[in-house]
Structure 1
C-alpha cells in the first residue's frame, strides 16, 4: 500500500561512512539530492558518483561527440561543489540504456570497488507520480541499481568479477531512491541548499538549452520548491526526500 501523502517522513539513517550514488546522466543528482550530499560530506562521509552515460544525447544543438565531454566536465565541477571528488562513467549510450545483465554487472562491479553501506539512485518507476512520465534511462539504471546492491554480495553471481579481483561486498545496508513519488525518509537540506544551487548551476550549458529563464533563478526556484515540498512532511524543515529500501 502507498503511504498517505501527508504522513511524516522519517530521518535517514546516519550510521554509515561510505555511499555510492548511481544515476543515468550528468545533472540527475543535482536535480535530485545534491543538498543531502553536501551535508553528508560536511560530516566526513565519503560519497562517490557513478554515471551510466555522459549525457551526450541531452542537448539538441550539440553533436554527441562534443556534448559528452562538455557534460562530463560540468558534472565533475558540479560534484566538487558538494565535496565529491570521485566521479566515474560507465559509457552506456545516452538515451538507450538497457536494463539487463550487463548493466547490473557494471554497477555491481562498482559497488564491489567502492564498498558502500548506502547506495543512492534516482526514481526507477515509470512516472514521477501521476502522469509525469519518467525516462527509460532513469528506469533502467534505478532498477538495475536496486538489483546490483544484492548482486554485489553474491559470489555466485558475476564470478568473473571475483576473477578480476573484485571480491563480493555484502555490506550495502540501504538503497535510497531520490525523486520518488513514494518517499519514506528525508535529510535536512538547510546547510546544503546553497551549495546544491551552485552545483546545479555548473550544468549551465544544459540549463541554457533547457530554458530561457536566468540559470540562477531557475536553479534556485527549482531546488527551493523541491526542498520546501519535502519539508512539509519533515517538520517544516527544507529537506531532500528519499524512498528507502533496507537490505
Structure 2
C-alpha cells in the first residue's frame, strides 16, 4: 500500500479528541510528538471520565482522578499541556446535541488546522478498536466538524459568546478500519515517546511488557503496509479533507 491522501504541509494547531484517557496515546501520540517538536500547539479533549476502566475492584471512586492524572502526564511527554475533560460516563457516551455542542465550542475556540478523532465506523477485523464510546466519539466529532462548527446558524449561543463559525481544513481519524486508512506517518523518531506515554497509563495495563510488544508489532505492520523504508514504525490514519484547496463548499 502507498500513501495516497493529500495532507497539510504545515500543521500549527491540532485539536485531538478521544473517548477515554489513553486512546490518543495508542492511536496518535507518535504523530502528535512530531507535530509538537516542529512547533505545533496541540490540545486534547477526553470525552468520558474513564470511570469504568482499570482492573482493581477497590477505590473505584478514585479511578477518574487517577486516569485524568495519567493522561496529563502522558500528554506532557509528547509536548501537550492543554487538556479538556468533558466527564461523560464511561461506557455510555452518546451522540447528543449537548455533547456535539461542546465539541463545536472547542473547535471554534482552538480553530485548529487538524481535528484528530477516533473513527465512527466499526472495525470488524479488530472489534476491540470499536468500543461503543470510540464510535460515539467519532460520530460526535464528525457532526461537530461538518456542518455544525462552520454553520453560523448552528448553536447560535456560541456566537453570542464570541465563538464564531470556523471551517476545519482537515479531519484525521485514528483507529480506523484498515480499508479506510489512506495515510501513514513514520514515527521512527518519536516511537519511544509514544510508548513512554502509553506506559504512563499503568492502571489499564496488567502486563505492560506484553502491551508494548503488541504495539510495536502493530506499528511495524503499518510501516510494511504503507511501504515505508526499512520496516519503519508508523501510525495509520483515515485523512479527510474538509475545507481544503481540493474541496468545494456544499459538495
What is the TM-score normalised by the length of structure 2? 0.88
Partners of 2:75 and 2:67 in 1: CA distance: 12
SS state of the match for residue 43, structure 2? strand
Q: Is the 8 A contact 1:197 1:219 kept in 2?
A: no
Question: What is the CA RMSD across the aligned residues, in angstroms?
Answer: 1.6
**Aligned residue in 2 for 1:48:** 43
Bigger Cα displacement from structure 2, 20-29 vs 51-60? 51-60
Specify the alignment match of 1:9 in structure 2. 3
C-alpha displacement of 1:152: 1.1
User: Which runs of no fewer than 5 residues in structure 1 stay unpaired?
Assistant: 1-6
Distance 1:163 1:104 in 2: 17
Which one of the candidate residues 133, 137, 141 is aligned to 1:137?
A: 133
TM-score normalised to the size of structure 1? Answer: 0.89
Q: Is the 8 A contact 1:124 1:142 kept in 2?
A: yes
Aligned twin of 1:4: none
Q: 1:198 to 1:22 in 2, by over 3 A?
A: same
**Which portions of structure 1, spanning 4 or more consecutive aligned residues, are displaced by more than 6 angstroms?**
none
1:155 offset after TM fit, Å?
0.8
**Corresponding residue number in structure 2 for 1:152:** 149
Secondary structure of the corresponding residue to residue 90 of structure 1: strand
2:121 equivalent to 1:125: yes
What is the CA deviation profile of residues 63-104 of structure 1, one whole-angstrom value per residue up to 9, with x for unaligned ones? 542100000000000000000011111111111011121121
Give me the whole-angstrom Cα distance separating, in 1, the residues matched to 2:118 and 2:14: 14
Q: Does 1:246 align with 2:238?
A: no
Specify every segment of 5 or more residues in structure 2 that has no aligned partner in the other structure, as ranges. 243-251
Asked if 2 retains the 8 angstrom alpha-carbon contact of 1:18 and 1:118, the reply is: yes
How far is 1:15 from its partner? 2.2
